Structure 1
Amino acid sequence: MVAAAIFDDMTQGGCMNAALKWMPLVAALALAGCAREGYYDNRSVDYAKAEESEPLVLPDTRNTRRYRDSMPVPEVPGNFVSQGEDFDAPPPRPLNAGSGVSAGEVALREAGDQRWLVVGASPGVVWSELEDFVATRGLQVLSRNQQRGVIETAQGRIAVSSGLQPGESEVRCERGGMPEEGCLKAIERRFEQRSNLASATASGLATQGQMNQQRQPPRLEQQDGEWQLMVPFGLQRAWAELSAQLESDFAMQGRRELVEQDIASHTFLVDYLLLSERSRGFWSSMASLDFSENMTRVRLTLSRQADGQTLVRAHAADDGDLQDNDARELLERVGGLLR
């Protein structure tokens, strides 16, 4: 019927006008064939009715080395604490935060009368270098324990252990429990002259798995309503590494700044733009007519624990209490510097 009407109009000399006149009706009839129950077929929620299929079963004769998880979810230490609807993701850390020394480089760390080297290479690689160092120097070896990473010589004790950052090692030279400056400087010069520490040598790879390299990251805990950071390192190591990291990361004017550090009391004073200040809303600023962002002076205190770990607490420098979210976010950042 529609086609006949169009034909009649066309025979009356209005071919173009007739086609345009009837085109909307033809389009509507065509679309009606794609509709379901009078509406356009919307499949955006069809997934809710999908049924789970049986898992894929691979034959037992397959080569298991060729198969692995395509998107593995890494394990995260500690417990997630929900902040409710007001949760704000913490700001991303800069690329150099918590990175320690670069691969193949060496840096001196000190805390009080203790000194040691941090080397950007795995303990297995460093162990091979230390054995070669002892041999070329003609030191008299009394004993060596590769698993513990200790070489006892007539001139002193040389030890290597895992560093606080992944892929790092700590080297100590001691005599009578005190650091041997000449030995440390000689080893430091040797590592500075070596260009292949970034990649493990064959001997390094062979010994790397034989050395104790267990390492746990810092974890955030809440005890008696107070947030605190448990660092699985001794007090001197934690202090020295945190000092170096804060000097590097807390150097952004108006956001976070390292003001003072005191090794005698194991405290750091920092000026920090707290989470509550950064997330202050427009209407709160309007009510106070203050649109500026003000940093708060915070004292970070390190204390030795009975199990050999170090506890880090954060309090306002005027002995006031920080809000829970502010303390948690600041300690999260500090813990990130030691991962």
Structure 2
Amino acid sequence: MNPALKWMPLVVSIALVATGCARDGYYHDRNIDYVDAEPSAPLVLPESRDMARYGNAMPVPEASGDFVPSDEGFSAPRPDEVARSRLRDYVERRDIGEDSWLVVNAQPNTIWPQLEDFARRQGLNVTASDPSRGILETQQARLSVRPGLLRGSSVVRCEQAGRAYADCLSSLSNYLGGQSQTASTASALASQRMANEPERVYLDRHNDEWLLVLGVGPELAWAELGYQLESNFNQGNRELLLESDAASRDFLVEYLPRDERERGFFSGFFGPDAEKMTRRLRLVLVPSGSDRTLVRVSNEGERELSSDDTREFLERVASLLR
């Protein structure tokens, strides 16, 4: 390895064209232009087009898992606030202990040519390239990409001697972040194709037990779930990560069910009394094949945990991974 190698950030220049909205200090209100608007003929595409590149602009995915109505009748669930407000960045870094990697909001076939271009720009000496496995070997570091747990995402690593290479990862993060604008079109087409792909995160009911099914192996499932719990379960007397055990791959959390959370809001019991209402729950990751992990919930506290509470809790956890 060349010790003098410098991992320099790569900057991608983007030309922005500014267009004026006002003329001579007068702002043109375009709302009036739509008063007498008439529908135009629908767009007709040539029959010779590549059908793989076209799809519904707003596809509705198939539901995963079974629908189980309650005895009191069905009421539509409210949109999860986190799912609505949480917008994913194109590149997000993950750091757990001494391990680090990137989660990129694009599929591996989009990331792979970017890794090749990164290696070329950095002057890395490529010794082996395996696109089918997503591995690019160089004399300085090993670059890799594989499907991530988050829908439509990829896990990107840069390692040296089997350990995360911090300088390389930082430079790679800067480079991929700069590529986010040029990759937007490819990502949009990939999002349309994802509508027909199976969910990687969904709830299932087996023998009267609610399970969270993750479409990745236990190693990646543990790392991503741990990161999300550390980032989001940080509110005492509501949802709080208490401990995690990498050896047994489980997490201990406190969680206040939605019904009691709302009851507490109106009755004003939040404070010391709220601690008595929280559930102490343990999430246990169970391998189910090389690319599937089951997440089970066990009640570690004295208060009863109903089937509806278990399902609600797993839905909350699932929202962190979608």
Give the TM-score, by structure 1 length.
Answer: 0.63
Distance 1:148 1:328, change over 3 A: same
Question: Does residue 75 of structure 2 align to residue 108 of structure 1?
Answer: no
Question: Does residue 117 of structure 2 align to residue 117 of structure 1?
Answer: no
- Structure 2 CA distance for aligned equivalents of residues 253 and 148 of structure 1: 43
2:282 pairs with 279, 299, 303, which one?
299
- Structure 1 equivalent of residue 205 of structure 2: 222
- Structure 2 equivalent of residue 137 of structure 1: 122
Per-residue CA deviations over 1:92-148 (Å, capped at 9, x if unaligned) read 322467947413x331243x6543211234434432332122112222222323343
One-letter identity of the residue aligned with 2:94: L
Q: CA deviation at 1:231?
A: 0.9
One-letter identity of the residue aligned with 1:200: A
- Structure 2 equivalent of residue 311 of structure 1: 294
Asked whether the 8 Å contact 1:121–1:197 carries over to 2, the reply is no
1:335 pairs with 314, 318, 322, which one?
318
One-letter identity of the residue aligned with 1:75: E
Provide the secondary structure at the position in 2 that maps to 1:245: helix
Distance 1:248 1:80, change over 3 A: same
One-letter identity of the residue aligned with 2:102: L
What 5-or-longer segments of structure 1 have no aligned partner?
Answer: 1-60, 286-290
- Within a 5 Å distance, the mapping from 1:159-238 to structure 2 comes to 159-191=144-176, 194=178, 196-200=179-183, 216-238=199-221
Per-residue CA deviations over 1:148-171 (Å, capped at 9, x if unaligned) read 332122334211123222343211
Asked whether the 8 Å contact 2:151–2:200 carries over to 1, the reply is no
Distance 1:171 1:82, change over 3 A: same
Per-residue CA deviations over 1:291-330 (Å, capped at 9, x if unaligned) read 9782222121222233432221112223876211111111
How many percent identity over aligned positions? 38
What 5-or-longer segments of structure 2 have no aligned partner?
Answer: 1-43, 268-272
Per-residue CA deviations over 1:62-114 (Å, capped at 9, x if unaligned) read 9678x9989864311222122232545545322467947413x331243x654
Asked whether the 8 Å contact 1:230–1:309 carries over to 2, the reply is yes
- Structure 1 CA distance for aligned equivalents of residues 230 and 248 of structure 2: 18
Per-residue CA deviations over 1:163-216 (Å, capped at 9, x if unaligned) read 222343211123454433443233234345x2x4144178x67x979xx99663
Distance 1:109 1:118, change over 3 A: farther
- Within a 5 Å distance, the mapping from 1:1-339 to structure 2 comes to 73-87=60-74, 89-95=76-82, 99=86, 101-103=88-90, 105-110=91-96, 114-191=99-176, 194=178, 196-200=179-183, 216-275=199-258, 277-278=260-261, 294-318=277-301, 322-339=305-322
Q: CA deviation at 1:334?
A: 0.9
Asked whether the 8 Å contact 2:93–2:100 carries over to 1, the reply is no
- Structure 1 CA distance for aligned equivalents of residues 59 and 183 of structure 2: 26
Distance 1:309 1:169, change over 3 A: same
Asked whether the 8 Å contact 1:173–1:180 carries over to 2, the reply is yes
Distance 1:77 1:300, change over 3 A: same
One-letter identity of the residue aligned with 1:235: P
Q: CA deviation at 1:233?
A: 1.3
Provide the secondary structure at the position in 2 that maps to 1:333: helix
- Flag the structure with larger Rg: 1
Distance 1:191 1:69, change over 3 A: closer
Q: CA deviation at 1:332?
A: 1.4
- Structure 2 CA distance for aligned equivalents of residues 314 and 238 of structure 1: 15
Asked whether the 8 Å contact 1:101–1:118 carries over to 2, the reply is no
- Structure 1 CA distance for aligned equivalents of residues 120 and 57 of structure 2: 46
Asked whether the 8 Å contact 2:104–2:154 carries over to 1, the reply is yes
Asked whether the 8 Å contact 1:299–1:315 carries over to 2, the reply is yes
Provide the secondary structure at the position in 1 that maps to 2:72: helix
- Structure 1 CA distance for aligned equivalents of residues 58 and 138 of structure 2: 49
Distance 1:326 1:177, change over 3 A: same
Provide the secondary structure at the position in 1 that maps to 2:89: coil
Distance 1:230 1:251, change over 3 A: same
- Structure 2 CA distance for aligned equivalents of residues 148 and 99 of structure 1: 31
Q: CA RMSD in A?
A: 4.1
